[in-house]
Structure 1
Amino acid sequence: NAKSTRAFLKRVDATHPLAAPLQAQQITELPRQVHKKGDHDPAGGFDARPLLAAAVAGHDVGLVSEAGMPAVADPGASVVRAAHALGLPVVPLVGPVSLMLALAASGLNGQHFAFVGYLPQEASARAQRLRELEALVQKTGQTQLFIETPYRNGALLQGALAALKPTTRLAVCCGVTLPQQAVFSGTVAEWKQGAPRLPLDLPAVFLVGR
């Protein structure tokens, strides 16, 4: 989003002056379909190379996301892939990654884990997928991370509590890095016995492990 990016760059400029005035910075938004469908699959048909014309001409180009790390559970992979295709150097910068912060806060296996994206929205299909992930956890010990659109977080949590076994561990990390951040990690039985009220209207990361 151009407006929030300008606001971010203004805050950066206050402590680390930009190489060029903010008014001279050119900001281009990724197309809306990239946000809706993702852009990590080359077969998706989105060619990001035209967005990097300034980089090809010798200028620095930065990839910014609204929250978290670009191209990790967020759009941007097509831009990075295009940079490689054009022979441009790619330099990742340190920043908040909600998946890793949630994993660190969960107490679950951080040595062996997988991010599986979004689960099915339909209740029975979602329950089946949750049981598949639970079986994988029990077989391999691999922590499973997934996310949902905030307005469906409540339904996902209730679906997980209904589908998973009482001894399976479930962690939910809401609003990571925000003042309202809240994390609860425990067995499904412990969740049912009285988990705290979480701000599920915020972006959240769900983790299943043992």
Structure 2
Amino acid sequence: MSAGKLYLIPNTLGGETTEDIIPQGVAQIAVQLRVFAVEDIKSARRLLRKIDRTFPIDESEFFVLNKATVSSDIYHLIKAMKTGKNVGIISEAGCAGIADPGAVLVSLAHENEIQVCPTVGPSSILLTLIGSGFNGQLFTFHGYLPKDQKERIRKLKDLEQRARRSGETQLFMDTPFRAMHIFEDLLNELADDTLLCVASNMTLHNERIQTRTIADWRENAYDLSKQLVMFALGKLS
């Protein structure tokens, strides 16, 4: 018996439909699977029903895979694949495997010589990078910034200097409840001529992405409260 495969299935970034976000071929793979490692079970089930209203939820197995998961918690999925079952990872990060806890299962699959099959989907990180006008050949994603404001400001100034020195694009994010605090720190603490890209609600009906100097942003800032936001510092190509 040949081993099963591990598929990385993309999620939406909050949209109610999948047609314009998840490629048809990827959707067809997703609805053929019956075993899933997921960051959030309710969200994963909603995604599968968005793709196919008749998807057999009750005939499928869902196992939680989050930032607290360790290899021993999910080794049973490796055993399942060794017996021929295909498994899908569905994260809350859009494109599975990027800023996503699913990497622990991917790593385990490689260790056990199980074929890993990444699929195409939305990533707010990549959408921000390609929409910013900044360097797309040299970039770093820093994830979430420190919660403490003093530490956060120090981090922001460090990222500003990195972008200025090397031209390397610096990408970072925070929760919808802290996005406005990040924005205020950027506008209050960075130099007037520093370039900042703000990308909010990517792939949604109210998507906005714009690159301006800090001085321009002070005149054109908008409310980012409770929005999904990515930030980038860099130099225009």
TM-score normalised over the length of structure 1: 0.85
In the alignment, what sits opposite 1:27? Answer: 62
Does residue 203 of the first structure (1) align with residue 225 of the second (2)?
no
Q: Which runs of 5+ in 2 are unaligned?
A: 1-39
**CA offset digits 1:82-134 (Å, max 9, x no partner):** 11111110010011011000111212221211101121121221111111111
In the alignment, the residues of structure 1 paired with residue 130 and residue 153 of structure 2 have an alpha-carbon distance, to the nearest angstrom, of 26
In the alignment, the residues of structure 1 paired with residue 143 and residue 47 of structure 2 have an alpha-carbon distance, to the nearest angstrom, of 27
8 Å CA contact retained: 2:128, 2:199 = yes
In the alignment, the residues of structure 1 paired with residue 60 and residue 209 of structure 2 have an alpha-carbon distance, to the nearest angstrom, of 38
- Cα 1:99–1:32 shift into 2, 3 Å: closer
- Partner secondary structure for residue 27 of structure 1: strand
| Structure 1 range deviating more: 24-33 or 153-162 | 24-33
In the alignment, what sits opposite 1:139? Answer: 165
| Structure 1 range deviating more: 199-208 or 49-58 | 49-58
- Partner secondary structure for residue 119 of structure 2: coil
In the alignment, the residues of structure 2 paired with residue 124 and residue 63 of structure 1 have an alpha-carbon distance, to the nearest angstrom, of 37
Q: CA deviation at 1:198?
A: 4.3
In the alignment, the residues of structure 1 paired with residue 65 and residue 220 of structure 2 have an alpha-carbon distance, to the nearest angstrom, of 42
Aligned residues: 195
Q: CA deviation at 1:199?
A: 3.9
In the alignment, what sits opposite 1:153? Answer: 179
Does residue 79 of the first structure (1) align with residue 105 of the second (2)?
yes
- Partner secondary structure for residue 205 of structure 1: strand
Q: How does 1:1-210 map to 2 (within 5 A)?
A: 1-13=40-52, 21-31=56-66, 33-34=68-69, 46-47=71-72, 48-195=74-221, 197-210=222-235
Q: CA deviation at 1:11?
A: 2.8
Runs of 4+ aligned structure 1 residues displaced above 2 Å come to 10-14, 31-34, 45-53
Please tell me the root mean square deviation across aligned C-alpha atoms, in Å. Answer: 1.9
Amino acid at match of 1:24: E
Higher helix share: 1
- Cα 1:185–1:49 shift into 2, 3 Å: same
By relative contact order (CA 8 Å, sep 6+), the higher-ranking structure is 2
- Partner secondary structure for residue 172 of structure 1: strand
Q: CA deviation at 1:185?
A: 1.5
Amino acid at match of 2:41: A
